[in-house]
Amino acid sequence: MARHSRVSASKPRDDRWTIAARYHERTKHRYEQFARSPERLDWENEPAAFRRFAGAALFRLPLPAGDRTPPYEAIYRTGSIAPQPVSLDALSRLFFYSLAVSAWKSAGGARWALRVNPSSGNLHPTEGYLAVYGLEGLTSAPGVYHYAPEEHALERRCEFAPGVWERLAAGLPAGAFFVGLSSIAWRESWKYGERAFRYCQLDVGHALAALRVSAAMLGWRLFFLPNVADEETSRLLGLERREDFVEREREAPGLLAAVAPGGEAIGPLSFRLNKEAVAGAAAGPWFGKANRLSPNHQPWDVIDEVERACRKEPGGPPEPPAPPHGAQGAAGADGAEAEFRRVPCGKSAGRIVRQRRSAAAMDGETGISRGTFYGMLGRLLPALSDSPWDCLTWPPFVHLKLFAHRVEGLAPGLYALARDGRQTEALKAAMKPSFRWERPADCPSALPLFLLEERDVQVLAVQLSCGQDIAGEGAFSLGMIAAFEGVLRRCGAHFYRRLFWEAGMIGQVLYLEAEAAGARATGIGCYFDDPVHEVFGLRGQEFQSLYHLTVGGPLEDRRPLQTEA
Ligand SMILES: Cc1cc2nc3c(=O)[nH]c(=O)nc-3n(C[C@H](O)[C@H](O)[C@H](O)COP(=O)(O)O)c2cc1C
């Protein structure tokens, strides 16, 4: 594998990936200069917190009566939870434990909502959609609904003509339906400028993992559909209907996923949407007009450009081979799991998911045990943990480099985790030759974790994370490095988005794992890209750091927090 690959090293097969690679370079934070963003926050144009469609019928979802969710640990093992029948109540729970408002915070006379899924700057660019058959409590006709978190309700956007649904769902198991995600880049670019496209994709990843976990609580499975083109997602969800949106507040297609409520596997790699059915859905009738989020907008052309370049087109390069999952050989995975000796946290999945919060500050004292640390990292390996990884169709491209500060029984220093053991050698070849690559004490054999360098890395972690103390005052922090240039070249520019989704999903699992361990996490989107690469000896664009995160003991946030049931 070439160590010094450059973006322009050889003629690309599809040069859209070079647009993504250039965007990535251009939006790096550097010590001497942050990525371009507004010089000051334009409060007059702060985007409204919630999207609504005026004129669309609103169907309030029943708030779950009591916590009927399984023990937290069960969500990681497919087949361990009995499938629930599809009903309005069950759909309510799907959203209540994934994209809903979970608390309200107030300070200085302002009050704002916090959600089950985290979001960079709490700006929530991600919108959720549902395409489903007729259900008691909704309309009897199949159609498309937008999820409205503030009301915990579904807004009816489209009613399908007879026959459309049957063709859309052909090839899916009985009772299956679709969920979709979209992004309003303006929400993020209002604050973060050019780097906003990255944050939108990370947020999609968090939301996808949140939905997968929520589906798991109902005994359902959820599969991202990789061969659905963005144009089809747009038409199915009504996102291409220019007349329904303020121009600069349009929603870019994120992804379409199928939910299998019987708990069966579907073949996401072979699933294609029927063209006539998509045309039928687009023909409507459609209801409602999107609310205006801001009076004025600052355009960021580079985001429009990268969004276009990274669209998933019909056809395109073949999908990479499906990854090995925990279920690959249940016995093998179970044996490897036994090595982790995890102690159940004693809380329900619903409680962990709804209590999740970001730590605004870490206490600089609380540590976690070595066993807890290994246990958390084990959840990130598709070979050991079915969910949420079974909703993706590609092998792990994102790995971890860790800054261990307060992991009891583990030397402080730099570590590396290959999320797929077969990638260890590639990581080793790409990183500093002086690194030790030693197995830490008692590390489960199934966890490809290695000590690279032993030293105090607290100051370094803070410095690399834009000077944010949370990176050094937790028990550990980390950066997620993705196999980058090779993946974009081989798999296409749309994989630029998917790499961030994978990173966002890792973030979501670590948020939950931190809560289960009595600690707290915070995602870190602000870090100095190339200085991070330098510390690990990574050159060129073979690997790139896409997201950071910290886990530790939180300092109490004194701003009043009111949780929703
Ligand atoms: C992609 C992403 C990037 C983030 N980056 C940072 C960051 O650099 N610094 C920070 O303090 N918090 C960061 N956060 C945490 C958000 O500020 C937090 O999720 C948001 O305020 C909502 O709060 P909640 O997580 O408690 O719901 C990030 C979150 C996400 C999802």
Per-residue model confidence as pLDDT tens digits over 442-454 = 999 999 999 999 9
pLDDT of 140 higher than 50? yes
pLDDT of 337 higher than 70? yes
Task: Calculate how far, in angstroms, residue 360's C-alpha sits from the geometric centre of ligand 1.
Answer: 9
pLDDT of 328 higher than 60? no
Model pLDDT, residue 322: 81
Query: Do 560 and 109 contact (CB within 8 A), yes or no?
Result: no
Query: Do 192 and 37 contact (CB within 8 A), yes or no?
Result: yes
Name the nearest CA neighbour of 432 among 540, 530, 536.
Answer: 536
Write the residue with the smallest CA distance to atom 2 of ligand 1. 120
Model pLDDT, residue 557: 79
What is the arithmetic mean of pLDDT over 204-226? 98
Name the nearest CA neighbour of 214 among 332, 91, 127, 341.
Answer: 91
Q: 288 in ligand 1 pocket by Cβ < 6 Å?
A: no
Confidence of residue 327 (pLDDT cuts 50, 70, 90): very low
Which residue among 29, 115, 120, 357 has the greatest number of ligand 1 atoms within 8 angstroms of its CB, and so is best to mutate? Answer: 120
End-to-end CA, the chain: 52
Q: 525 in ligand 1 pocket by Cβ < 6 Å?
A: yes
What is the atom index within ligand 1 of the atom nearest the CA of 470? 11
| Residue % of the chain over a pLDDT of 70 | 96
From edge to edge, which strands make up the β-sheet containing 449-454?
449-454, 413-417, 398-404, 476-483, 543-552, 520-524
3-state secondary structure of 162: coil
Confidence of residue 4 (pLDDT cuts 50, 70, 90): very low
Model pLDDT, residue 563: 79
Task: Calculate how far, in angstroms, residue 203's C-alpha sits from the geometric centre of ligand 1.
Answer: 10
Q: 254 in ligand 1 pocket by Cβ < 6 Å?
A: no
Task: Calculate how far, in angstroms, residue 320's C-alpha sits from the geometric centre of ligand 1.
Answer: 31
**Bridge partners, residue 107, by sequence:** 110
Looking at per-residue confidence, does 8 or 141 come out higher? Answer: 141
Model pLDDT, residue 12: 44
What is the atom index within ligand 1 of the atom nearest the CA of 199? 1
Q: 468 in ligand 1 pocket by Cβ < 6 Å?
A: yes
Model pLDDT, residue 326: 57
Task: Calculate how far, in angstroms, residue 423's C-alpha sits from the geometric centre of ligand 1.
Answer: 29
Model pLDDT, residue 537: 98
Average pLDDT, the chain: 94
What is the arithmetic mean of pLDDT over 326-336? 59
Q: Among 280-284, 332-336, 399-403, 496-500, which stretch is predicted with the lowest mean pLDDT?
A: 332-336
Write the residue with the smallest CA distance to atom 1 of ligand 1. 120
Confidence of residue 11 (pLDDT cuts 50, 70, 90): very low
Confidence of residue 325 (pLDDT cuts 50, 70, 90): low
Looking at per-residue confidence, does 291 or 557 come out higher? Answer: 291
Task: Calculate how far, in angstroms, residue 522's C-alpha sits from the geometric centre of ligand 1.
Answer: 6
Model pLDDT, residue 560: 73
Model pLDDT, residue 206: 98
Which residue is associated with the tokens 């990268």? 306
Instruction: Encode pLDDT of 485-502 as tens digits.
Output: 999 999 999 999 999 999
Task: Calculate how far, in angstroms, residue 549's C-alpha sits from the geometric centre of ligand 1.
Answer: 9
Task: Calculate how far, in angstroms, residue 123's C-alpha sits from the geometric centre of ligand 1.
Answer: 9
Model pLDDT, residue 226: 97
Write the DSSP string, 193-244.
GGGHHHHHHHHHHHHHHHHHHHHHHTT-EEEE-TTS-HHHHHHHHTTT-GGG
Model pLDDT, residue 204: 98
What is the atom index within ligand 1 of the atom nearest the CA of 547? 1
What is the arithmetic mean of pLDDT over 370-389? 96
Looking at per-residue confidence, does 265 or 364 come out higher? Answer: 364
Instruction: Encode pLDDT of 400-433 as tens digits.
Output: 999 999 999 999 999 999 999 999 999 999 999 9
What is the arithmetic mean of pLDDT over 177-203? 98
* Interior/surface letters 276-308, b for 16+ CB within 10 angstroms, e for the rest: ebbebbbebebbbbbeebbeebeebebbeebbe
Task: Calculate how far, in angstroms, residue 352's C-alpha sits from the geometric centre of ligand 1.
Answer: 18
* Interior/surface letters 136-150, b for 16+ CB within 10 angstroms, e for the rest: eebeeebbbbbbbbe
Which tokens go with 222? 């959820």
Which residue among 29, 119, 200 has the greatest number of ligand 1 atoms within 8 angstroms of its CB, and so is best to mutate? Answer: 119
How far, in Å, CA of 505 to CA of 480, rounded?
11
Q: 526 in ligand 1 pocket by Cβ < 6 Å?
A: yes
Q: 102 in ligand 1 pocket by Cβ < 6 Å?
A: no
Q: 199 in ligand 1 pocket by Cβ < 6 Å?
A: yes
Write the residue with the smallest CA distance to atom 7 of ligand 1. 524
Instruction: Encode pLDDT of 42-69 as tens digits.
Output: 999 999 999 999 999 999 999 999 999 9
Task: Calculate how far, in angstroms, residue 118's C-alpha sits from the geometric centre of ligand 1.
Answer: 6
What is the arithmetic mean of pLDDT over 443-468? 98
Model pLDDT, residue 324: 67
Half-sphere exposure of 527 (CA within 13 A, CB side): 32
pLDDT of 14 higher than 70? no
Model pLDDT, residue 438: 98
How far, in Å, CA of 195 to CA of 190, rounded?
11
How far, in Å, CA of 227 to CA of 277, rounded?
16
Which tokens go with 534? 């330098």
Write the residue with the smallest CA distance to atom 9 of ligand 1. 524
Q: 523 in ligand 1 pocket by Cβ < 6 Å?
A: yes
Instruction: Encode pLDDT of 112-129 as tens digits.
Output: 999 999 999 999 999 999
User: Which helix or strand (DSSP H or E) is residue 513 part of?
Assistant: helix 494-516
pLDDT of 392 higher than 90? yes
What is the atom index within ligand 1 of the atom nearest the CA of 202? 1
Model pLDDT, residue 162: 96
Model pLDDT, residue 6: 44
Which residue among 191, 195, 358, 398 has the greatest number of ligand 1 atoms within 8 angstroms of its CB, and so is best to mutate? Answer: 358
Q: 226 in ligand 1 pocket by Cβ < 6 Å?
A: no
Model pLDDT, residue 565: 63
Q: 206 in ligand 1 pocket by Cβ < 6 Å?
A: yes
Write the residue with the smallest CA distance to atom 20 of ligand 1. 122
Q: How far is CA 441 from CA 185, 376, 405, 411, 416, in A?
A: 45, 16, 16, 10, 15
Which tokens go with 193? 């400028």
Q: 114 in ligand 1 pocket by Cβ < 6 Å?
A: yes
Task: Calculate how far, in angstroms, residue 19's C-alpha sits from the geometric centre of ligand 1.
Answer: 27
Write the residue with the smallest CA distance to atom 6 of ligand 1. 524
Q: 202 in ligand 1 pocket by Cβ < 6 Å?
A: yes
How far, in Å, CA of 533 to CA of 529, rounded?
7
pLDDT of 1 higher than 50? no
Confidence of residue 512 (pLDDT cuts 50, 70, 90): very high
Model pLDDT, residue 3: 40
Is residue 112 exposed (0-12), middle (13-18) or buried (19+ Cβ within 10 Å)?
exposed
How far, in Å, CA of 563 to CA of 565, rounded?
6
